[in-house]
Chain A
Amino acid sequence: MVGETVDLWQALLRSGEHTATDEEYEHGYKQREVRRDLRQYVAFRVGDEVYGLPISEIEEITKLFPTTFVPRTAPFLLGIGNVRGRIIPVVELSRRLGLRSCGYDRSARVLIVPLDDEPYGLLVHEVLEVVRIPPEQMEDRPGGMSGRRADYIRALGRYQGEIVIILNLAEVLDPDDFILLDVGEERGSR
């Protein structure tokens, strides 16, 4: 997996909104001043929507790697893959969030997110940028929303006029949802 482990992550972190130039690859990135109270989010695209996760919740960003289908699991589980010797379940976010599925191209990325000390992979269509959203620009999940999908949303952020949906990882990756219940579980309960 080493080959796919892009240092993009560090790149995004250091360069902020701007894409690194060759010049910078050669001489290293300049450290920029950062407003302390801004929280940083990694914005990414799933289908046509923009989602975000706090930087601190993402361990690394890699290209899509080969995965192995795991029978008897929910369709949103793309499979398991091996990243640096660790077995990581990869979740196809568009299916998990109930969005229209569309194909992946070369900009597809997997965000490696640790949850309760175990890594998970989130397949997204594209990683956009690191955005800094001041707390005053964040709003709670709209009260009108209901249903399972609403649980996945932690908050809504606004960034340059666009809505960034901040995900609630603990709900998105609820272990109870991974296994298909009709195989085995009722048998297993005996």
Chain B
Amino acid sequence: MDPNSSEFIGEAQESVETFSRHLLELEAQSRSGNIDPDRLNAAFRAVHSLKGLAGLFNAVEVGTLAHSVEGTLDRLRLGKLDLSKGVLDVLFDAVELFSALLAPRGEHEEPPDLITLLEKVEGLTRSDEDGGGEDTSLDWLGESILSVLSEYEEHRLRENLRKGRSLYRVHASFDILAIDVGIEQLKEKMKEYGEVITYLPSADSTSDDRIDLDIILGSNLTFADVSRELSERDVAVHRLGPSAATPPSEPVREESTPAAPAPSPEAFAPEVEPEESATEAAEVSLRSLSQTVRVDLRRLDVLMNLVGELGLIQANLSTLHLSLRGIDATADASRELQSQVRDMSRKLTLLQQGILDVRMVPIGQIFDKLHRVVRKLSRELDKEIRLMISGAETVLDKLIVEELSDPLMHMIRNCIDHGIEATEVRVQSGKTAAGRVDLRAFQKGNRVVIEVEDDGGGMDWRKLRDLGLRRGLIDADEAETMSPTDAYNLIFAPGFSTRQEANTVSGRGVGMDVVKTNIAKLSGMIDVHTELGRGTRFAITLPVTLAIIQALVIESAGHTFCIPLNAVLESIMAERAEVGTIEGQEVITLRGRTLPLLQLSRLFGLRAPPGYDPDPNRLYVVVIGLAQHRVGLVVDELLGQQDVVIKPLGRAIRNVPGIAGATELGANRTVLLLDVGRLVDEGVRELSSAVFGGEHGR
């Protein structure tokens, strides 16, 4: 299978992101010194599945790296390696490299440097090899338990002992049909008291439809407490330990216990472990079902277009109904048709809504990436940064989320590079040494607001104004009367950068003007609030969904319009001389058919601006069609195709004949969308029946 297939890349990226998320969590835990082994396991699993995936698709480089990282994680799991800052750094580098390996690569681009990192990862693994030589004997556990413990389980067991926890053997019996639920509940309960180290099959199954398990639990609680806490769970608790004069198993409630820990593991393992892994697998697959029905966005667009076309058919039906009613208004069939058409239009709206909903994804997807950026930058710039995230579950159209990632990354860079002061400066001004960047998302009505806020130095509007003047963005007069708000908005002007020299972090030729343009393309807007010495807050407001269509952008008499592409049959270039007239109506012959022409500029009464001078001998004809009618729309220029976001017009101009809506092309350029159905209709009405008679004759 092809390692470049979107299937592989999509799934692999997801694994990498999962891994990265766990890694960030682990980093936070390592700072507080309390690492959750479950988290480490989850990271291990993510990399492990990535490895499997890479093998399946022959992605050699990804596979090699995953294998190497997996080894490191395994050693971390087994306590053979400490989760130090150095190790974390290498692992984060691995995340970056995974992303680089998965990114589409141009032919001339350098392949990411796999070797160096691999060496680093291997280096980690080799150092500090012999740490656990002085293992204390665990013989007191008894051969029956020791022999079935995996290396990892044994490590966790020792780890628990090292922390001074007591070990308990919890004997539980489950109905074979409900074992998954039962284990899960018990596990949740026991997690509150300590760590579940392993599950062992137990010998004393009482009947065929029950499975008995011994669960080894490490806990700080005393024996009495554990017994009490678990008492209603229908389990028996035993204490394990070398201390006191307790033999390997001290019977507490059950008389049969002496025989208990003597199972033949081989005999039971196949029966129990599939159960266990089945529960785990069920859990995992459930989760992936809810998150990862992977659909190509283009397929959704196809569906969306189909809905649009259905809408046209529905409109035709309703016109048809009107003419039927003209013949006999009382006919039952006519009434029935009306109600069916109305039903259909309601369902169409729901269908459209449903498809739009499918496109929704949580914005947390890119927040994770930003987390990595912050981490990297704070190291590069030697500023300690805490990134606070809220609202990661807020959903937005997939397309918007994708397009947001670059602007947000740039803004965060700005925050850290320009906003947050150097540590000494912060301490002097009475702030915490660590800078804080807040990333928030929340829904507000039918819009989503994303805020990026830092607690850095803020912006001085006078400085911005003076700089704007120096850069020639404003003249002296304007500077004189400029308000602080206007001055702050100067940062969005092209060619404005508050640093004298571009540096590697945020000065790379693009600035906030690009951010603003990109956000405007998504029909969003950006606002800035700043307080000198206190920090700066950027707020991006975006629509939740975009009604996107493909459009042909044309120009007529200096005015730009969009035509929905699904109504355009073709566009041709013609010479003025090819245009003939039939009864005063301009027509052109296209492949033997007579096509009536409509001059858009005349239809709309457009006056060309002075100096506008298209070639009079050449004209562009956009052939538009609705149902069986075809009309050639004459325009001056074809500007190209584009995906555009349709916005409704307000009440006042909603009903302008021939105009269906508006959209934005580039920054703040509002362009009207033509109502093709209406224009074709007008064109057809203008033609005398003689013209049509002639056309049909050919």
Contacts and interface: CB of A to CB of B under 8 A. Distances in A.
Interface of A: 1-3, 5-8, 11, 25, 65-73, 77, 80-82, 84-89, 116, 118-120, 173, 175, 178-179, 183-185, 187-188
Contacts of B672: 68, 70-71, 80
A178 B656 CA distance: 9
Contacts of A3: 486, 489, 492-493
B656 A179 contact: yes
Given A25-B483, A72-B605, A175 B525 contact: no
B526 interface: yes
B668 A82 contact: yes
B604 interface: yes
B246 interface: no
B670 interface: yes
B658 A179 contact: no
Interface residues of B, number: 45
30 contacts: A2-B516, A2-B527, A3-B492, A5-B485, A6-B483, A25-B484, A66-B668, A70-B653, A71-B603, A71-B656, A71-B672, A72-B656, A72-B659, A73-B656, A80-B649, A81-B668, A82-B664, A85-B523, A85-B525, A85-B543, A87-B650, A89-B653, A120-B652, A175-B651, A178-B652, A179-B653, A179-B656, A183-B605, A183-B657, A185-B657
A6 B415 CA distance: 24
A118 B651 contact: yes
Interface string B416-446: 0000000000000000000000000000000
Which 3 pairs show the lowest CB-CB distances between chains A and B? Answer: A184-B657, A71-B604, A3-B489
B682 interface: yes
Given A70-B656, A87-B662, A1 B541 contact: no
A120 B653 contact: no
A116 B651 contact: yes
Contacts of B603: 71
B670 A68 contact: yes
B671 interface: yes
Contacts of B493: 3
Of B516, B528, B652, B664, chain A has the most CB atoms within 10 Å of the CB of B652
Given A3-B486, A7-B485, A80 B653 contact: yes
B580 interface: no
B4 interface: no
B123 interface: no
Contacts of A11: 483
Nearest to A88: B650
B525 A84 contact: yes
Interface in B593-649: 603-606, 647-649
Contacts of A67: 670
A9 to B, nearest CB: 11
A8 B659 contact: no
Nearest to A7: B485
A22 B483 CA distance: 9
